[in-house]
Amino acid sequence: MIDWLRLAESLISSPWLYGVLIAVSFLDSFLPLIPSEPVVIVAGVYAATGQTDIVLVIAATTLGAFLGDMVPYTAGRLFGTRLLKRLPPGSKRRAAHDWFARELDARGGFILVTTRFIPVGRYLATLSTGLVGFPLRKYVLFVAFATASWSTYTALTGYLGGVLFQENTLLAIAVGVGLALVVTGFIEVVRRARHRRNTAAPDPVID
């Protein structure tokens, strides 16, 4: 098992760090046990001292995350047709499939952007998006925005910690991780509240 955090710290002053950022953010898009956020935060912390370039940190992380999000989507598209054949019309599973497809059609951008900040949620969302046949062009657009937003936010939380606590790297990393957890938790609360409101809303009556 690769210790990604230790590997990143050992390469802080090396151009290979950006390759590590690409790799870890790529793998984390479909392997939830890969710890991309702490690695990106550490790179952001050291950017505050000039040992890394914050723009390159964000760019490398965005690239890796974007390419990684294409993996579960592609897998979903490959197996989606086969799955649909096993969901007979009128069944509960087919109803759930059709409901999620309608949700994505109506608010796909919101779902893909918010779940990008939730480690397991982003994998489930991107895979499900492929399974229901969400249009590739729209998916690429939303995922590009989602990964850029996530990468910028994650790197800058580390950078902020580094600016505030330049004399204490461990504290700076802890602050960066703490900020990331708070924002992630807030996003999940908002997402769940919106989901409950949409579920509770009655269907419009058509005369």
Task: Give the span between the Cα atoms of 80 and 73, in whole angstroms.
Answer: 10
- Structure pTM? 0.76
Task: Give the span between the Cα atoms of 173 and 48, in whole angstroms.
Answer: 12
- What confidence tens digit (pLDDT) does each residue in 41-66 have? 889 888 888 889 999 999 999 999 99
Task: Give the span between the Cα atoms of 6 and 157, in whole angstroms.
Answer: 19
Kindly list the averaged pLDDT for each block of 10 residues, start to end, along the chain of length 207.
82 93 93 84 87 94 96 89 71 71 78 81 85 88 91 86 55 51 55 56 42
Task: Kindly give the residue spans of alpha helices, DSSP state H, lying in 29-118.
Answer: 36-47, 54-85, 92-115
